[in-house]
Amino acid sequence: MKMETSIDTGRAALRAGQTGIEGAAKWLALAAAVLGWMFDGLEMGLFPLVGRPALTEMLGGADIGPWFGVIMAVFLVGAACGGIALGWLGDRIGRTRAMVWSVLAYSVFSGLGAVVTAPWQLAILRFLAALGMGGQWALGVALVMEIFPAKSRPLMAGVIGASANVGFLLIAALSIGLNSVLAGLATVLHAALPASLVSILLRNGSWRLLMILSAAPALLTFLIRIFVPESGMWEAQSQAGGKAPRIGDLFRNGLAKSTCLGAALGAIALVGTWASVQWIPAWAGKIAIGVPNAAAKVQIASALGAILFSIFFALFAERFNRRSTYFALSLVSLISCAILFRLDMHYGPAFRFWTFFVGGITAGFYGLLPLYLPELFPTRVRAMGSGLTFNAGRLIAAVGAVSGGALVKSFGGDIARMCSIVSLVYALGLVLVWFAPETKGRPLPD
């Protein structure tokens, strides 16, 4: 009886926004979530940078297109599976413990990509790395939303949503300054390693060296394990006992509607990004003939817009409400994509502006979803529910990754036409969001 009373008191305090975690501890939790998702963004941008030279080396000049699409698809499937599996683990053993395994997985398996000798090996490692990447979002979001008081959650959601795009920005900037960076690294390597090994690391765009450097986020696991506090809400729920959470729980006790609609809303955002907006740098590289680093510059413009709009729309959702914000994002994404992809665009300032705007508006979902999705689920299944609903769209996007090249080919190489058709997916959001629950002003469910 005393234990039940203590737990009830703790939950009441949590509902009032008194997390019991103050000062540096909660900011360390935010830092771990932001850095983890930022490194996720950097890792996601890594393969487009190293994939072509890596596959060219391993295939000996054969067509790399099919393997490139397969590896991208495998990555997306892995991220979807990781979002569910590690979300489940976070509900079982705690947010911070599961985050350690999440970061370790995507760091180690990305780094091991440096020793592959065949495309199938790279595909397996990208799948395993993606398991950690998919889980990091669900765990970081659940942890931060449970630790910070309700008044702070919109800003925290926006910061988390923006952090992956900081990673995209960093990897794009690295691609521009790659030669100078690698020249400095080559000097250090020659002083420390045999010349034959240095030659292997630096050939074909130094893709093996970049894969090794991608293991650096593993250091974050020590920060998480030692300094980052566990969620008080999860600890209270854990002490209350009961059955261990299962995936089937997301479709019982009145959660089925929220799970299905949350997954649909997440899928619209992810399909729009991966099967449409992510093609913009490739499109820029095709139309900006003779312009150095055109694709990287466009990716930077898109990432800058994404960083700003992710934060803005998380705050917008708190000022108004979740459903109207999602509707506005769907409408403006639909219109802006039509302008960019359907008008006669040429590479230049106008093209970069619309890339900034489209990249920002379509990324606004990633500021809203970290705020909204955790509000749909009780504590015992929050990480798992957030992971499943956010990552469900990756499975559909994986199909697009395999077939996207063929679709572009069927349009005579017209990337813009393909993107203009795929971006119509945002029209579904205009309708579906009104069937989803409104959660503004409500405490996180126990």
Longest dimension (CA), the chain: 75
446 residues of the chain, pLDDT tens digit each? 443 444 344 444 444 444 445 567 788 888 888 888 888 888 777 777 777 788 888 988 777 777 877 888 898 899 889 988 999 999 989 989 999 999 999 899 999 998 999 999 999 999 999 999 888 888 988 888 888 888 888 999 999 889 988 888 887 777 677 666 666 777 777 777 887 787 777 777 778 888 888 888 888 887 888 888 888 888 887 777 667 778 888 998 889 999 999 999 999 998 898 888 888 887 887 888 778 778 778 888 999 999 999 999 999 999 999 999 999 999 999 999 999 999 988 888 899 999 999 999 999 999 999 999 999 999 889 999 998 998 887 887 777 666 766 777 788 878 889 889 989 999 999 999 999 999 998 888 87
Q: Do 283 and 131 contact (CB within 8 A), yes or no?
A: no
Q: CA 407, CA 411: separation in Å to the nearest integer?
A: 6
Structure tokens at 196: 């034959």
Q: What is the DSSP string of 301-313?
A: HHHHHHHHHHHHH
Whole-number Å distance between alpha carbons of 67 and 32: 34
- Angular region, 206: left φ>0, alpha ψ -120 to 50, beta rest: left
42/298 Cα distance (integer angstroms): 16
Sequence-ordered alpha helix ranges (H) in 60-152: 65-93, 95-111, 119-147
Give the tokens for residue 363. Answer: 């990324």
Query: Residue 26's closest CA among 153, 192, 191?
Result: 153
The predicted pLDDT at position 336 comes to 97
Class of domain 23-222+247-435 as given by CATH: mainly alpha
Nearest to 298 by CA among 401, 172, 163: 172
- What's the pLDDT at 180? 67
Amino acid (one-letter) located at 157: A
Per-residue CA distances from 348 to 294, 354, 356, 420 (Å): 10, 10, 12, 20
Boundaries of every domain in the chain: 23-222+247-435
| Helix-then-strand count for the chain, H and E | 19, 0
CA 247/CA 133 separation, integer angstroms:
19
Cα–Cα distances (Å) from 327 to 232, 257, 351, in that order, read 33, 19, 26
Question: Alpha helices, DSSP H only, in 177-253?
Answer: 178-192, 195-213, 220-227, 232-239
First CA to last CA across the chain, in angstroms? 19
